[in-house]
Structure formats: C-alpha cells, structure tokens
Structure 1
Amino acid sequence: MTVRFIEMRFFAQRAALAFFLGVASFAAHAQSLARVCPKAHEATQEHLIGLWRAEFTDLPAATLLLWQHPELAASVRGQINRNGERADLAGDVDEGEFTLEESVNGVNISATWLGDVVEGSCGREIRGTWRREGQAREYEFVLRKQ
C-alpha cells in the first residue's frame, strides 16, 4: 500500500512538473512569436537590418541595405542605390518612429527620412516622408523589407 501511494505521489509530481514546463514552454514560445512579429512600437534596429525597397511618390524607386551601426548599438548604417548613384545612410527606430539621414558625400546630410513602422507589418514596412536638404517639397515613401 505504501509503495502504491509513493508511486501515485511520484506520478502526480511528474504530471505537475510536466504541466508547469508546458506552460513555461508555451509562454517562451509566445514571447518568441512576439519578437518575430513585433508591434510597431516594439520594432528595434534589429528589424531594420537587411535589404529594403523604397518606393516614392514622383521619384524613382531605390534599394537600401542596412546593417548594425559599428559604434551605436541601437542604430543602423547603410547605403542607398538609386539607379547606380549611391549615398550613405545612418538612422534608427524608436517606439515605432523611423529616422534616417542620407549623405551623398559621407559628411553632410543631403536628405532626411521620417516615418512610422506600419502596425501589423511585423517591422517589415515603413511609411513616411523623404526630403532633400534645402528643399521644401517632401515626397512620400514606402519602405518594404525584401
């Protein structure tokens, strides 16, 4: 009788442990999915890293390649290619707000990108405006991760 009670108690402890491990595993999986598809305000520089296609209103499309900034952990560096013309990029995303500075000569800012991560895009789409320095006109853009 005592052996059977001990076996039942052991089984109950194992079942409880399996249940708690299952709950913990599910919670970890849910958190992992949240990181895979962040809400707009949760997007970080990690979501910016990669190849992007930029489409503009009234301007030709462009390709951007962004990578981890070598000196600023929460920022990115990169390059843009517009029909063979290249420029340097540096920027970040904070609470879903995207900022990118473009420099044709690598020293001075030649254009500024301001936008927002699109909710439901998992950090893969950004919409906003692009403006060349010294000009008043802004062009709408859509950035989509490739």
Structure 2
Amino acid sequence: MSIKVGGTFSRSGGIVSAIGKQLKLINLKAVQRITVTFDPFQENAVPTREFLQHLSSPRTVQSNPSCLLKSEVVCDRRSPSIVFQLTPTAQAEAKLKKIEFNSANLSTLELLQLCNKHVSSLAPKEIVSSGLKTKSEKKAGGTKRR
C-alpha cells in the first residue's frame, strides 16, 4: 500500500504562524475609530479579547497612530462585537460609514482574516517613488542652467 501525496512540500506552521502572517497584513489607515464590546463572563468573548490585544500591539498601532481604540466591557449578556468607523475618504470609496463584526462564534484567526479582507483593503494605496537618482542622471534628465 502506498501513502497518498498531500500536495504540499512542507507542513503548515500552525495557528500561531497563521495569526502572525495576518497581523503583518493589517493596515488601519482607513479607520478612524475601533470599538470592541464584549461581556467578560461569556465563554465566547476570549477570541474577541485576543483580537483586541493584537490590535493594540505597537506594529498595528504604527499603521495608523491617529486611530482610536476603545474597549467597552458590558455585563448584559450581549454577544461580542467589533465596530470600525471609517475615515471620510474610505467612506466615500466604500459607501459605508462603519463596518461591524459580530464576533460571537469566530476565532481570533477568522477575525484577523475578516479585518484584512474588509478593512485593510480600504486603505489608500501607497505611491511608490521612482527611487534615488545620481548626479549624472539628474544632469542628463534636467534642463541646463545658464
């Protein structure tokens, strides 16, 4: 009997590496404010709290330092939710004022994937500069001074 080929040359790094990969892709430039609401006594609030911890990491905050991160701890048996309020330019592009995730039955990895899919995709594209020019390239491409 032979063993079936799985189709990959290497194994997955696991859930921790998948979360790390999604964290590298997060871009909050299209977001003005993030509000995370959860009830700490519910068992399905753990992934939402972990997502909040990942959003408050220095690398994620560095993508948009002017983005406000607010956490609301409630005690009324509400399901956890995450609300992203968009900047005016992103609102015009997406025709939405806010994006809301009901995170009751989602894992931390799924929350990060949804954030990258719906929020990071609205971030303005960075303009790539042409690079540095040497003095000879500047002289060849520029006008002569007299």
The TM tier, using the shorter chain, reads under 0.3
**Structure with the higher helix share, 1 or 2:** 2
Q: TM-score, normalised by structure 2?
A: 0.25
Q: TM-score, normalised by structure 1?
A: 0.25
**Structure with the higher strand share, 1 or 2:** 1
Pick 1 or 2: higher relative contact order, CA cutoff 8 A, min separation 6. 2
